[in-house]
Structure 1
Amino acid sequence: MPREKVVRVWDEREVVYTPKRWRYLWEKREKALKIMERLAQFDPLLYGSVARGDVRRDSDIDIFIPIKVPSYLIELALEGLVRRRKIVMATPWHLIKGVIEIDEETTVTFPLIEPTDRELDFYRWGGAVDLWGVKTKE
């Protein structure tokens, strides 16, 4: 007997956020905006819960540079903000990325090799907004 889907793809539902939830969203987006403005020449994307709007108090601020850029240029743009650097590769078949930690909740991730369209789609699919969208509160 086939299982019944709990939610169909075309189902819609209205979600109402509390004023506290809205405050978390705008505080985290304001913090992201300051960093993204420093990185404007690299077309940064805010992605994840802060981009989608389903933010909580403990949500991370995740910024992604969608183009291959020398890491030193990113570090120069973030001068005075860099707390830690690392290289991440989820599996041998995934994109090698540099990660710059700004603080305990904020990271800037960027490809160290040319990303494929599919790898870039991961960020868009998970919810992403560009600098203009963060500035205009879209």
Structure 2
Amino acid sequence: MLLGITLGTVLTLGALVASTIFNSEDYLNSKILSHYQEGLIMTGIFLKANYLFNFTAIVIILREGYSFKLFQRDKIVLISAMSAVFAIFMFTLYYTPDILAYQAAGEEMTKSKNFANIHKASELDFYLLALSLIVLIVRRLQLLIKE
């Protein structure tokens, strides 16, 4: 269930929230917020979601570690779980602090090539997280049905 909640959060943030916030003028009927201000709002939302992501990573580590100890081993589960944990920690512990540092340095820093590269990499990491969670959920369901 937690995996589904986390996947839903990833998809909602990526597909719905980001597109709404970064197109705020469509909803406000004027350009009230700058792209930088929209980014600050989006970062605030991601900071809150990071608690869920980190909690999910810890649960995955504990759950899959316990399964491994009981010799309930599956390559697909292992790879997708490791990939999900890696993607979560890259996003919450690497990309988010970097993005915060650029934002704290001011609007001009967020217009730099380095910031654009970091932001693009964080988006790719988010896609990897979504894919890893989908594979992990599907494989866990397949194994559950077999039992």
- TM-score under structure 2 length normalisation: 0.25
Which structure shows the higher helix fraction?
Answer: 2
Higher relative contact order (CA 8 A, sep 6+): 2
Q: Decide which structure has the larger Cα Rg and report it.
A: 2
- TM-score under structure 1 length normalisation: 0.26
